[in-house]
Structure 1
Amino acid sequence: MRLILDRPGIWIAIICGAVILLLPFAGKHGIDNRLEENVLGGKELTTYRSFISEFGNDRILIGGFRYTSLNGALVTALFELEEALMSLEGVQEVMSPVTTLRKVFNLKPGQELQNWVKSENRVSNYFSRLTGFSIARNVIINTEKSTAAIIIRLKSEVADTDTKIISRIRETAENHPYFKNNIQVTGIPDIVRVLHDYTEYSRKVFTPATLIVIILVLIFLYPSISGVMIPLAVILTPLISTMGIFNLAGNDTNFITAMIPPLILGLGLTSCIHVMTAYIQKSGGECKFNPEILLDVLRDQTPPILMCQVTTIFGFATLATNGLGAIRQYGIYSALGVCLVIVSVLVLLPALMAATGFRHTGKTPAPVSRSLFPALSGFVIARPRLIITLSIATLLAGLYGVSKTSMETSLIRYLPHDHPVTKRINTIEEGLCGIVPVHLTLDVRGEQDLLDPDYCKAISRMQKKISAISGAGSVISYVNMITDYDMAFSGEDENIPPSRDEIVEYLEFYRPYAASEITEEIIRNPDGTTKEIILHETTALQDTTGTSDTSSDMVESFLSSDFRRAHVTIRLKDVSSSELTSIFNRIRSIARNTLPGDIKTELTGRAYLWAEASEALVHNEAINFLWSLLLIDLVIIWRFRSLIIGIAALLPNLLPLGIIYGLMGYWTVPVNTVTGMLACVAIGMSVDDTIHFTHSMQKKIESGMDYPQAIEKSLEDKGLPMIFTTLVIMCGFGVLMLSEFVPTFQFGALICLTFMMALLLDLTLTPAILLVAKPFKVSTQGDVSVPPEDSDLKHAVSAENINCGIK
């Protein structure tokens, strides 16, 4: 410490040099909110990647719209929209009510299309047949609700960060003259796009908003130029360094790591406040900078600051074992930021104070201390057991509420209820089916392939059972193509032909044709009116090898070319994560009990991976919290050499968490991906005030005070710094409430409430436990009339109105 104060310029130059080197990288980072790749093991991802390789990307956008009439104008408009969408970057395939005309009958836009739509009977008959197909019913058309849809499948190379591509696709559909102000386009990629926008907003707003709040706090506490600029430089140093290292390591910001900057700024300022306030009190308003007083302050404050930051590091370090890459990054780089905060506070802060000859102007907070804390200490000393009893009763009530908590990891539920995307989702689900695609892969291991009639019948039975599950909007596979074709000719519903050859012949109908001449057979009623128009295709099958997306094989989007692998697509509606888990379990059970044993099944799909990953990480966060609690308690026990101190330090910080999670249980507010981190983050930070107060109590007991005196003086000395540091942290995390992203907003609100309750308990429950347990041995020596810190404080009071000028 002496070396720092003797040669401050050298230390300032070293630290500033490192910051300057990292500064260019601090702001260079992208955004990546991928979840599933960072959580799940090889099996789930291998299944998903194999599915993508075999059947194409499962990321889809759905455009739902209402129609007044199924006529030629609608057919023409859909053809135009399909062509416009297929010309866009990132679009792999488009499916709408006219896709069969385009893919199967090879109907071309232009004059050929115009000739076809001239016949109203032909158009009416086509839609009548289409709505009878299970593969289209409630998926791309619902005549009962006069609703239809266009489904846009994205290319595999379209990443979550390609928000402009996704926005352009949506705008192209929504701005088409025929569908303008009528079509609603959304889907999982659109929700991820919104999440990306939230993250971008957080990145731009959180840090400036936190800095504004911090500057106002500093102006209030230390109304001088040096009183504001010195701590500001001290807290910006670890922030710039941490984010520079974060970006140099090749990391991208996500909706969780976007919360790192406010955290580092808040933690850095709290330590600055403890050091600077202690120096101001001890210096007694001296106009001239006194390095000896600062050296004495550093010797006194370094142990609790180190201990506080070490416990905070442990709290974040446990998150480094979390399965989710975003939370793991949050834990690692938050812990790194805290380490850099220690260096900045214990090295850069005294160096800057010494180099600038720090002076403070204005009143000390001593008068406030004299008026506020004697009454509080009197209450604690008079009723310690009542405080402890009420606290334990509150904790038990909170734990009962915790037992009622539920988890919610649905990405859709993370959006506000009035968000435009939420409204689009509701519109599509009301008129059609769900927007969440989940896939059940089928892999036959026996001698027969999946065209075996018995296999097809078993898959059909399975689909029927799955479709009966509440929340399952549609269940589609290649078997629907078979039954739909059979129904068109035989009139039998859900019938499977008895031979494999017939099944092959049925499926050939759905393959694209090289050229076509569509003829029609008109069947009339006895009175001469048209009863039915039957379309006939007279051309041969084309070779689909190397065909473009516009003529891709519909069969091979559900069934592999060797007929041994297939998938069933299940479109789920927006349900809670617990309901989603139940649906997944029921699907697995139905598949296991319905299909032959030689057909292996696996659930997959991006939405499925997200759900599974979210559930896994929330459970991981609970394990992380227990490890954090254990490590922090061991550090406190080791530092104070007392098990009682370990209990006394944790109870005031566990109680707020019990209350918060208990209230969430009582109010049916589910725990989500972000709020699951609250316990780990809060326990590592809120215990800081407990450590500072307990350290002060220990010093005063050892100086010869009895316990009531030590409580009075500790509250008087440490009460205001504890209040101000808590307010600073609350302001830092309070900026998270500027976000419209529900988990981020909830995390900001709940952690602020947690810190507020922790402060109240640190000022009441902690001294009450220490008074009852008496873990420190009272010294029989020492002058207890005017202890050293009290003398300093009186000196500060006497000099509170001295104006030293602004440095």
Structure 2
Amino acid sequence: MSSNALRPSRSTHQRGSTLGNRLFHLYDRTVLSHPVLTLLLVLIAAVIAGLRLDQFRLDASPDTLVMEGDESFEYYQQTYQRFETTDDFLVVSYQPEGELFSDDALNRLEQLRDDLMAVEGIDESNSILNVPLLHSPDMTLMTVNKHMKTLDGDDVPLDTARKALMENPLYQNMLVSEDGTTTAIQLLLPTDERYYELRDRRDALQQKEGDQGLSEAEESELSQVLADYRQRKEALNAQQDRIIRDVRDVLANYGDQARIHLGGVPMIVADMMAFVESDLVTFGLGVLAFIILMLGIIFRQPRWVLLPLLCCALTVWLTLGYLGWTHWPVTVISSNFVSLLLIITMSLTIHLIVRHREYQQVQPDANRYQLVAETVSAMGRPCFYMVITTVVAFGSLIFSSIRPVIDFGLMMTVGILIGYAVVFLVLPAVLMLLPRAAQPGGALHRTPVTEYLARVTDNYRGTILAFSAALAVVCAVGVSWLSVENRFIDYFKSDTEIHQGMVVIDQKLGGTTPLDVIISLEQNDGTPTEDCDPFVDPECEPREQIDSFFSTDGAELVKTIHDFLDEQPQTGKVISLATTIRLAERVNQGKLNPLQLGLMGRAFPEDLQGLLLDPYVNEETGEARFSIRLIESSPELNRDALFERIRSHLTGEIGLEDEQVNLTGMAVLYNNMLQSLFSSQIKTLGAVFLAIMAMFLVLFRSLRVAVVAIVPNLLAAGTVLGIMGLMGIPLDMMTITVAAITVGIAVDDTIHYIYRFREEIRRDGDYQAAMHRSHQTIGRAMLYTSLTIIVGFSILALSNFIPTIYFGVFTGLAMAIALLGALTLLPRLLLMVKPFGPDQGAATENG
């Protein structure tokens, strides 16, 4: 349908610059002149996006929680290859109602184990049923193989089996609790060697691409490797999710016989993503329901409810389709980008609708084209400025060193730009095709809330400034108290299965999160150390180097380190070569002499070496591994402080060199991410605000306006972060984004208000009157937007995933603070500074 018949000969709206005129005329000749064609093109884009919507996926694998180029992740991968171990296993805790070491309980445990082993994909398990008991009065270190028995394969008296398991330092507090009431079944998940080969090749090619570039053949190879790696990764993730579901189905059949919980890093990751996926669907629909309700209450006309929902739905659909086409996974950090796109797209549509209804009110005889053209011409520029500054706010995330945070910033940038295009293509095109809306009622002229805030701004000048200053001081204190220390267990409510399972595993079975300490033997190149040269100083007594961990000194070293690690209140089960040595000493019924230590590696049968030695010592590289499980439920858990204490003790008290000590594991990778989040996001907020202030300078061409505009934004961001600090809520992988969200939201309100205030001041030069008119026009749109989002996001407080609750609460709080700042502090500063020239209203009063 063409709108030529509706178009007046001359525009009733004066447009700004020549460039603005050209852009509007181009828009006029395309979108407004051909609304049906415009909507058809948008529909085609939506269909194309939908073709790959099934490729949209969530990813929570370990490499999504590490810093960009983090050497710790590469070391983490190499460590598990050298020691032939993995974190990819599940732990089933089993606590029968009666005695654990009874025929009935062990028979049920055996049946449970066999049913779990029947799950496709689980090929290996460890439990008290199949591990060697290593208990016999006739056993010696050299006759271990002869006397080795298991509950599965041998007729062992239960008292003897209980004693063997409870006294074994390897099994105690890992496979059986110290009180003998709880046991565990460890289920090893399948590994795919081809997956690791593809990942290593991908990393090598990408490293070369960054350093020196790739040849045409290598670029083709990288493209193929990326495709194969992505396919393998998706297949492995799907397989792991299926295994966890099947395991849970098996466990459900035994819940009436014992207290059973499932644990392990893969389960934590799977449950975390399950909560996020559930929230995306359940609460996404809930948020939409609240938004529909609020739009209905505010506008009371179906079109003003359906059009915003159409724009929001198209924006999300097109963005998800883009992510599907580009195989761009969404992580836990970026999982809330859909909600944020709803906020920003809804804000754009509401601003256009309010302005459209305003023109409809003041121009009752205008036709459809006039109303739509006036709306687009008036709101195109401030909405574009809003989008650009919001992109700057979220774009700051790309300077993070963490891949998921970078992806979150880029996703928001793409989504915001898509949202802007959708709103200014779909909304005007649909309005060109619909009949003219019913005339707004008289309520359009007066909004009690904004009118009240205008009076507050007028009558409480000093109070607003004093309160803002006091709030800034309190916020500064709160921000200084912010921390990134948090516990996985705090992500889940206490009545959830995962929370309860983590508590049981922590308290009974040695802890949850894996941490590894790797000790290397000192390399002896024959040169004396700088601080101790016997040829220069005759009294120098250089420390003897340890050539092997299977020596007397080497054994004492690993025992000393093991005992120190075991003494830390945040650590649970610690397993190392010291565990094996002490087990050998118990079997040998006495300390091992140097010969026995040297031969210990050959004394154990081959299958025991894979259990007792290979995961904890690598003689080729001269490294020893200390496997630790952290107590996630410990109130004293502070990962960063613990890691620093371990490193300081090993280098300071024990005397190892810095390069001889390495910490790795999921606990280290997660801590690195949290520490980087704090430094790269919180500490760089100043740079972000400088960039936004520069944008204000470009937009408003006034340093005074830029300074005035930045103050409410600083206060809004500082207030949210300060409240988090004062309440002791740590920053984590989701709440860290609240800062960027707050900046983006506050910037939107600031730009819209200043842009409208400048329009109003040009009418009569009366600052006070301009403020009241701005409150009743753009202030109304800001209020509607904020109320809709605050009410909609309040439903997130019902989630079982604590970070989602915090996200919803603090997003709503950010909206409220940004709104109050933009409707009180901002106009108060404008009335004080008078950046748009002298106050003609005051001059008239004085005259």
TM-score range, shorter chain: 0.7 to 0.9
Alignment correspondent of 1:535: none
The yes-or-no answer on 1:276 pairing with 2:353 is: yes
Alignment correspondent of 2:640: 581
How far off its partner does 1:699 sit?
1.6
The yes-or-no answer on 1:148 pairing with 2:183 is: yes
Q: What are the superposed Cα offsets for residues 121-153 of structure 1, whole Å, 9 maximum, x if unpaired?
A: xx4234323322322222223453533333333
* Candidates 136, 146, 168, aligned match of 2:246: 168
Alignment correspondent of 1:17: 44
Distance 1:172 1:230, change over 3 A: closer
* Candidates 570, 590, 606, aligned match of 2:649: 590
1:579-728 alignment runs, 5 A limit: 579-592=638-651, 593-594=653-654, 597=657, 600-623=660-683, 625-728=685-788
Give the whole-Å Cα distance in 2 for the aligned partners of 1:606 and 1:269: 39
Instruction: For residue 475 of structure 1, give the secondary structure of its aligned residue in structure 2.
Output: strand
Alignment correspondent of 1:321: 399
Alignment correspondent of 1:235: 312
The yes-or-no answer on 1:464 pairing with 2:464 is: no
* Candidates 39, 43, 68, aligned match of 2:66: 39
How far off its partner does 1:192 sit?
1.3
The yes-or-no answer on 1:436 pairing with 2:503 is: no
How far off its partner does 1:755 sit?
0.9
Alignment correspondent of 1:474: 573
Alignment correspondent of 1:128: 163
Match of 2:461, as an amino acid?
A: P
> What is the TM-score with the length of structure 2 in the denominator?
0.80
* Contact persistence 1:35–1:326 (CA under 8 A): no
Give the whole-Å Cα distance in 2 for the aligned partners of 1:358 and 1:511: 87
Match of 1:127, as an amino acid?
A: R
The yes-or-no answer on 1:58 pairing with 2:84 is: no
Instruction: For residue 433 of structure 1, give the secondary structure of its aligned residue in structure 2.
Output: coil
Q: What are the superposed Cα offsets for residues 52-84 of structure 1, whole Å, 9 maximum, x if unpaired?
A: 223221233333334625345555555555555
Match of 1:502, as an amino acid?
A: Q
Give the whole-Å Cα distance in 2 for the aligned partners of 1:129 and 1:102: 6
Alignment correspondent of 1:257: 334
Alignment correspondent of 2:409: 331
Distance 1:298 1:605, change over 3 A: same
* Candidates 552, 560, 565, aligned match of 2:618: 560
Q: Decide which moves more: 308-317 or 479-488.
A: 479-488
The yes-or-no answer on 1:341 pairing with 2:419 is: yes
Task: Structure 2 unaligned segments of length 5 or more: list them.
Answer: 1-23, 135-144, 193-234, 525-546
Instruction: For residue 58 of structure 2, give the secondary structure of its aligned residue in structure 1.
Output: coil
Match of 1:566, as an amino acid?
A: A
Match of 1:565, as an amino acid?
A: E
* Contact persistence 1:262–1:732 (CA under 8 A): no
The yes-or-no answer on 1:299 pairing with 2:386 is: no
The yes-or-no answer on 1:744 pairing with 2:800 is: no
* Contact persistence 1:384–1:769 (CA under 8 A): no
Alignment correspondent of 2:430: 352
How far off its partner does 1:339 sit?
1.0
Give the whole-Å Cα distance in 1 for the aligned partners of 2:250 and 2:187: 12
Distance 1:438 1:696, change over 3 A: same
The yes-or-no answer on 1:100 pairing with 2:124 is: no
Distance 1:226 1:76, change over 3 A: closer
The yes-or-no answer on 1:413 pairing with 2:490 is: yes
Distance 1:142 1:510, change over 3 A: farther
> Number of residue pairs matched?
734
Distance 1:432 1:269, change over 3 A: closer
Distance 1:644 1:385, change over 3 A: farther
Match of 1:333, as an amino acid?
A: M
Distance 1:8 1:80, change over 3 A: closer
1:514-553 alignment runs, 5 A limit: 553=611
Instruction: For residue 182 of structure 1, give the secondary structure of its aligned residue in structure 2.
Output: strand
1:766-785 alignment runs, 5 A limit: 766-778=826-838
Instruction: For residue 340 of structure 1, give the secondary structure of its aligned residue in structure 2.
Output: helix
Distance 1:277 1:251, change over 3 A: same
Instruction: For residue 703 of structure 1, give the secondary structure of its aligned residue in structure 2.
Output: helix
The yes-or-no answer on 1:5 pairing with 2:32 is: yes
How far off its partner does 1:195 sit?
0.6
**Where does structure 1 differ by over 6 angstroms across 4 or more consecutive aligned residues?**
none
Alignment correspondent of 2:213: none
The yes-or-no answer on 1:26 pairing with 2:120 is: no
1:502-513 alignment runs, 5 A limit: 502-512=596-606
Give the whole-Å Cα distance in 1 for the aligned partners of 2:276 and 2:573: 33
* Contact persistence 2:479–2:725 (CA under 8 A): yes
Match of 1:760, as an amino acid?
A: L
Instruction: For residue 281 of structure 2, give the secondary structure of its aligned residue in structure 1.
Output: helix
Q: What are the superposed Cα offsets for residues 236-260 of structure 1, whole Å, 9 maximum, x if unpaired?
A: 3222211111111102233333322
How far off its partner does 1:587 sit?
2.0
The yes-or-no answer on 1:569 pairing with 2:647 is: no
The yes-or-no answer on 1:196 pairing with 2:273 is: yes
* Contact persistence 2:559–2:578 (CA under 8 A): yes
Distance 1:287 1:740, change over 3 A: farther
How far off its partner does 1:701 sit?
1.8
* Candidates 584, 588, 593, aligned match of 1:498: 593
* Contact persistence 2:56–2:320 (CA under 8 A): no
Match of 1:484, as an amino acid?
A: L
Give the whole-Å Cα distance in 2 for the aligned partners of 1:358 and 1:619: 53
* Contact persistence 1:57–1:155 (CA under 8 A): no
Q: What are the superposed Cα offsets for residues 297-342 of structure 1, whole Å, 9 maximum, x if unpaired?
A: 3222222111111111111111223333332222111111111222
* Contact persistence 1:33–1:160 (CA under 8 A): no
* Contact persistence 2:295–2:788 (CA under 8 A): no
Q: What are the superposed Cα offsets for residues 190-249 of structure 1, whole Å, 9 maximum, x if unpaired?
A: 211211211221232243333333333333344444333333333332222111111111
Match of 2:822, as an amino acid?
A: D
Alignment correspondent of 2:536: none
Distance 1:508 1:82, change over 3 A: farther
* Contact persistence 1:95–1:150 (CA under 8 A): yes
Instruction: For residue 618 of structure 2, give the secondary structure of its aligned residue in structure 1.
Output: coil
* Contact persistence 2:174–2:573 (CA under 8 A): yes
Give the whole-Å Cα distance in 1 for the aligned partners of 2:346 and 2:269: 34
Give the whole-Å Cα distance in 1 for the aligned partners of 2:765 and 2:673: 55
How far off its partner does 1:777 sit?
0.9
Distance 1:662 1:159, change over 3 A: same
How far off its partner does 1:776 sit?
0.8
Give the whole-Å Cα distance in 1 for the aligned partners of 2:175 and 2:797: 39
Give the whole-Å Cα distance in 1 for the aligned partners of 2:798 and 2:109: 41
Alignment correspondent of 1:804: none
Distance 1:372 1:47, change over 3 A: closer
Give the whole-Å Cα distance in 2 for the aligned partners of 1:445 and 1:373: 72
